[in-house]
Structure 1
């Protein structure tokens, strides 16, 4: 299995972007912000990119970050935790149904708000664009599906990017203000770093990531590493913990890769569209928090865990938040993974059902 790495357009831009990200992360560490190694690079790289500073992220570096984080999260799935999550299957199903319904509502609101107000976008194209902009799934995957249906992909990608940015920045600060105490102090099965075991884990998870990539699965570097580590940890096979410096580096790479999406062109992409997406994203966070609170009462789990598990953010970003703040990592990861898979599978069928329903 060959892995082809295309060189970046400019090594200098990649290096300067990483240096900006590192400086931002260190500043956030000094300021004691939540999730400093991801939020710092994400926010600062986004800002400098939007004002026109040439930034660039190299895809293999982003993949490496996802590979490391996926491996680290899988270590939380001990046999005891696996049994706990298996008993929560009904809550996971409710979470998926909630996400699909919320996405439909978000998309319908966008369509009504912008009907006849987006130059060059027909009513049919707006219907497709608004639906896939509202779907709570992976940004790249939703954009690709939307493209097949004839949507304005720039608007879809912009909507997902802005939503993930707002959720990733807002929720960790809300958790810090809340002052919720760590919940995972006794759940991590592997605590010590063993060099030989770390290398073995790295090779095994690399194979898993490459297989996922070959099969064309979503987020292959994250999901492949997560699944391999998860299965070994469930079987009580322990290799090694992930060093803190490696996890922090991975967060930096992911934060920087998200930040470079926010170019000057992004800022000028239908400002009214972006403003409406921003407002709707904040409303969605509030609705998801209320839903999570109710789910917490039914499951007996901490509301913070449920908020992260049901929030409309990206799977890697919400799982990293749970990991760093130690707020129920296995449950958050399970909810986010199941939702992502379900939305990717159901997005197009639900869209066709929704379209037929409107025509009848």
Structure 2
């Protein structure tokens, strides 16, 4: 199969156009000194032109490669000393999981109350499943798949998660920059020094992990596989290589593009009242999560900025990238976000069945 035949008919010009547009936006944001310019610039410009009707496209292999690179880059922070610190915070991570489940349940209950009067085409059971999984703080694709099994309106669930991640990704980095928060991490040599042979070995090991995760049908296989393998290598005390900055920037760019292309004109016209309620609820969730982070900060002694990112109701890759670029406690943020993702994937459906049973009674 040739390179061009990997695309559908007429797809590769759209992919190229989207990447060039994203690159220009990233360079502009870097010149303007915005936070995480290589992700925010592509995310903003791609979502804007897509909503205006431009035919943008994200190529899945590029998105997977971006997640692979970011997974490796984050795993390099988990030195043995950092691993011991994260392990000692197991109780705080457990509290974060409970908090996320309760917050998602409350978000879903509010959506059900607000929309019971006008989403009349949905049965009571469909309304409950739609609003619950739209509120759950988990991966967008995973929550949408689970919601489909429960008979929910998957377009509303997917729209909720996409919009929430967009708002969190755009809001929190700018808030961190406004308050002058950055540079909390002490970077180990594995983060600073690029070793060509070590980089090739790391790529081979992490590619194997990603493909294994994909074969096993795990969530976010390219991110999680690379992260888990790199964490294992680094926790054992081996320093193979850092990730070149240009490669990290490119990974952020394609992840930003993959988020931005979701916001099609059809998305804008999907239940405007539903989208407005998601915006309002997301703002409230961010405020509540910031308050929860301040409480955890007082209990753990960690910097509030680190725990704000760890507790934020955004996507794992987006929050971890923010922590990496601003150097705000990358291992702690990654541990909080990864553990929450895994726990929500496991527990979201059982919690829904319990809540649905209570509502029926």
**TM-score for the superposition, normalised by structure 2:** 0.97
Residue 144 (structure 2) aligns with: 143
Determine if contact 2:58/2:257 at 8 Å carries over to the other structure.
Answer: yes
Is the 8 Å Cα contact of residues 75 and 188 (structure 1) preserved in structure 2? no
CA positional deviation for 1:116 = 2.6
Distance 1:348 1:357, change over 3 A: same
Distance 1:211 1:47 in 2: 36
In 2, the alpha carbon distance for the partners of 1:316 and 1:44 equals 19
Instruction: Output aligned runs, 1:237-256, within 5 Å.
Output: 237-256=238-257
Post-superposition offset of 1:181 = 3.4
Find the counterpart in structure 2 of residue 202 from structure 1.
Answer: 203
Cross-structure match for 1:7 = 7
RMSD (Å), alpha carbons: 1.1
| 8 Å CA contact retained: 1:163, 1:278 | yes
The aligned counterpart of 2:219 is: 218
Question: How far did 1:357 drift?
Answer: 1.7
* TM superposition shift of 1:41: 0.3
| Mapping of residues 176-195 of structure 1, within 5 Å | 176-187=177-188, 189-195=190-196
User: For the residues of structure 1 that align with 2:318 and 2:161, how far apart are their CA atoms?
Assistant: 13
**Structure 2 alignment gaps of length 5 or more:** none
Shift of 1:19: 0.6
**Matched residue, 1:327:** 328
Asked if 2 retains the 8 angstrom alpha-carbon contact of 1:308 and 1:332, the reply is yes
SS in 1 for 2:192: coil
Give the Cα–Cα distance (whole angstroms) in 2 for the partners of residues 230 and 119 of structure 1: 48
Deviation sequence 1:233-258 (CA, Å, 0-9, x none) = 00011110000000000000000010
Range with bigger deviation, 180-189 or 65-74: 180-189
Distance 1:203 1:97 in 2: 36
> Could you tell me how far 1:339 is from its partner in structure 2?
0.1
User: For 1:141 and 1:77, how far apart are their aligned partners in 2?
Assistant: 26
Determine if contact 1:190/1:239 at 8 Å carries over to the other structure: no
Tell me which residue corresponds to 1:291.
Answer: 292
Q: What is the distance in 2 between the residues matched to 1:62 and 1:160? A: 18
Q: Match of 2:29? A: 28
Deviates more, 1:118-127 or 1:335-344: 118-127
Deviations 1:113-164 (A, max 9, x none): 0003025222221111000000000000000000011000000000000000
Q: Is 1:152 equivalent to 2:177 in the alignment? A: no
TM-score using structure 1 length: 0.97
Partner of 1:62: 63
Q: Which residue of 2 aligns with 1:316?
A: 317
Task: Say if 2:302 is the partner of 1:301.
Answer: yes
CA contact (8 A) 2:76 2:231 kept: yes
Q: Distance in 2 between matches of 1:154 and 1:112?
A: 19
What corresponds to 1:49 in structure 2?
Answer: 50
1:168-195 per-position Cα deviation (integer Å, ceiling 9, x unaligned): 0000000000111311134564421011
Counterpart of 2:92 in structure 1 is 91
Contact 1:305–1:332 (8 Å) recurs in 2? yes
Q: Check whether the contact 1:167–1:313 (CA below 8 A) recurs between aligned residues.
A: yes
Cα distance between partner residues in 1 of 2:344 and 2:17: 36
Q: Deviations over 1:183-223 (max 9, x none)?
A: 11345644210111101101110000000000000000000
Task: Give the aligned partner of residue 18 of structure 2.
Answer: 17
Unmatched tracts of structure 1, length 5 or more: none
* Match in the other structure for 1:276: 277
Distance 1:134 1:12 in 2: 36
**In the alignment, is the contact (CA less than 8 A) between 1:76 and 1:188 conserved in 2?**
no
